[in-house]
Chain A
Amino acid sequence: MRTRFFRCAGAGLAAGALVLGLAACGGDEVPTADAKGKGGVEVSKLTVGIVPVIDHAAIFVAKDKGLFTAEGLTVEPRPLQGGAAAVPAMMSGDLQAAFATYPSFLLAEAQGIHVKIVAEGVRATDKTGGVYVWKNSPLKDAAELAGKTIAVNTLNNTGDVTIKAVLKEKGVDPNSVKFIELPFPDMAGALERGSVDAAWVVEPFRTGIAAAGGRQILASYSGIAEGIPVSGLGMSANFVKDNPNTAAAFARAIEKANALIADDPNLARNEVTKYSKSTPEQAKAMELPKWVKGAPDVKELTRVNDLMLQTGALKKPVDVASMVLTK
């Protein structure tokens, strides 16, 4: 009987430890500083998730130009593998903000993980992303992609969503195309081996594949997806609720940086050589996305929602207006 008691007690303790552990996981609110009220920032140190690509240059331009300091913020960019890892890191409080593609934010929101879009990142041009085939590929144009396999970096995200939408517009059955996930750096090899028929690439990989003899047969950000917003900066809705002044200050700084780059895109070209492995020559050759002035544009962002619905990435529409930060 003694042993039984102790074993049950052990189980109780283990369950208790689990309760504590989970409770610790759940309550990750950053304590609010005393500066609240008079428009002062509640939290001044922000760690922001980024991917070292030119699209995320605004953070670095804002840092270099002292825009964050002017708002009373200290921002530390932290490189991540991709946007999908950013949302959990924001929820856990590891990151206070992060760059991600809008489909990631919308998918999170659709599953009840609430995210605020605090600032726009970049919008696409018709040269921002393309479906490439290898030089010896028999494929000549987009219509021949029916029934073929296309590599994208992440499924249910900008790549396959825009490709499906554009193919449908061109009269190709998007459901006949197979998509598989490959990291961007592996795509050139997969194309050369014939492991995939085509690959969707963005800068800086796009320039590399084009130089190695790849041919673009479809511009993914064209037609129905032309000029669509690609990536932006998000914060967890809870963080924004608890730290409205910090969120607003951060958004203002990024908007100023966006406006600077919109007027002079060379700022981004200069900056990208500092935080990524791109050389000045490569940076000069890159096709740049478009930076826009002003606050996140609900009407443009809703286009992402529409494309995701149309291609089945989202089952139900997401209220994009409610996701945009109101200052």
Chain B
Amino acid sequence: MSTVSGRTDSKAALPGAATRRSGPMLRWLGTRGPREFVLRWVVLFALFIGWELAAKAAESPYFPPPSEFAARAAELWLPADGTWLTEATANDVLPSLARMFGGLALGSLVAVVLGVAIGLSRRLGDYVDPLIQFSRAIPPPALIPIFLVLFDRGALMRVLLIAFGAMWPVLLNTIEGVRSVDVIKYETASIFRIGFADKLVRIVLPGAAQKVFAGLRTSLALGLILMVISEMVASTGGIGFHIVQAQRSFQILDMWAGILLLGVLGYLLNLVLTVVERRVLAWHRTTNREIA
């Protein structure tokens, strides 16, 4: 690894240079090199410019140019006047993110625990499979009225809704991951009389980790969606509340700004998860390479 990290930047920046394995994740914003970076962002910028021109030509109050609502978003949420926390950030973004992470953490924890149990025991799997298939088919927004009655209109109801809706990809992937662990590893563990806790920490969880992360990535997107939807009902704050209120009061710039914020948040969260995933699963790639 030392030779790789010692590589000079100019060399790494050459088109086609193999930066995939060693280059810092954020150097090219998730792309593999300057060339891909340029291509990817050029398309995005071209789209925005086209949108900008179209919106300016259309002059519809409902389709403001992206430059205008981007400026409004910056005004609302970017740090200014010496404080890094604007009022809108404190009222909308932080509570929203707190609820989303709370829901995702709770949902993922439940999903991993259940998933490991089900993955290890075929019999348990057979018992709960219909229940899982039934529950995950229910669109969580349809449950909002019931959750409102059961848990009232506070943060708890929203966190639970996010947890309920976002747990399924992690659960199914954990089950899958646990079942896909090489039987030889289990048998080896039995022969060496390795205890259950050790088996769990050293074989089951690492073996399922890659799939769990794949599930997490889907759950993250679901969590963001459910966060917004849950905040559109009987709410007093959050990004979803901001968007609905802006729409109702015809503050179209604020509404688009909220939509932009959601897009940016989704992008950043995915980026963060990718980085975390690479860190956590770093061993995985090396071991696989050794085996190969």
Task: Report A's interface with B, CB cutoff 8 A.
Answer: 4, 7-8, 10-12, 14-16, 18-23, 25-27, 84, 87-88, 91-92, 104, 107-108, 110-113, 151, 154-157, 178, 180-182, 186, 189-190, 193, 195
Contact = CB atoms under 8 A, between A and B. Distances in A.
Contacts of A156: 245, 248-249
Given A22-B63, A180-B234, A193-B152, A111 B252 contact: yes
Given A186-B145, A195-B153, A91 B55 contact: no
B58 A22 contact: yes
Given A26-B60, A26-B63, A84-B248, A14 B53 contact: no
Given A12-B46, A14-B50, A180-B234, A26 B249 contact: no
Given A8-B42, A111-B249, A155-B248, A180 B235 contact: yes
B59 A8 contact: no
Contacts of A111: 61, 249-252
Contacts of B61: 91, 111-113
Interface in B39-75: 39, 42-43, 46-47, 49-51, 53-55, 57-63
A7 B38 CA distance: 12
Given A15-B47, A18-B54, A87-B250, 15 more contacts: A8-B43, A14-B43, A15-B49, A18-B47, A18-B50, A20-B54, A22-B55, A22-B58, A22-B63, A88-B62, A111-B61, A113-B62, A156-B249, A181-B233, A195-B152
6 contacts: A4-B39, A14-B43, A19-B53, A21-B54, A181-B233, A195-B152
B233 to A, nearest CB: 8
Contacts, number: 105
B44 to A, nearest CB: 8
A19 B50 contact: yes
Interface residues of B, number: 34
A25 B60 contact: yes
A82 to B, nearest CB: 9
B144 to A, nearest CB: 11
Which one of B53, B248, B252 has the greatest number of beta carbons of chain A within 10 Å?
A: B248
B116 to A, nearest CB: 37
Interface in B220-244: 233-236
Contact of A108 (B42, B234, B250): B250
A84 B153 contact: no
Given A22-B63, A23-B57, A26-B60, A181 B234 contact: yes
A113 B249 CA distance: 11
Secondary structure of the B contact surface, majority rule: helix
B57 A25 contact: no
Interface string B103-130: 0000000000000000000000000000
| Main secondary structure on A side of the interface with B | helix
A10 to B, nearest CB: 8
B54 A113 contact: no
A107 B249 contact: yes
A154 B250 CA distance: 13
Contact of A19 (B54, B234, B235, B251): B54
Contacts of B142: none
B247 interface: yes
B232 to A, nearest CB: 9
A68 B235 CA distance: 42
B143 to A, nearest CB: 15
B72 to A, nearest CB: 13
B184 interface: no
A21 B54 CA distance: 9
B7 to A, nearest CB: 26
A195 B58 CA distance: 45
A12 B251 CA distance: 30
Contacts of A21: 54
B183 interface: no
B42 to A, nearest CB: 7
A110 B248 CA distance: 13
A25 B64 CA distance: 12
A110 B253 CA distance: 13
Contacts of B47: 11, 14-15, 18
Nearest to B152: A195
A7 B62 contact: no
B264 to A, nearest CB: 19
B149 interface: yes
Contacts of B233: 181
Contacts of A189: 149
Contacts of A107: 248-250
Contact of A25 (B51, B62, B235): B62
Contacts of B49: 15
Contacts of B153: 180, 190, 195
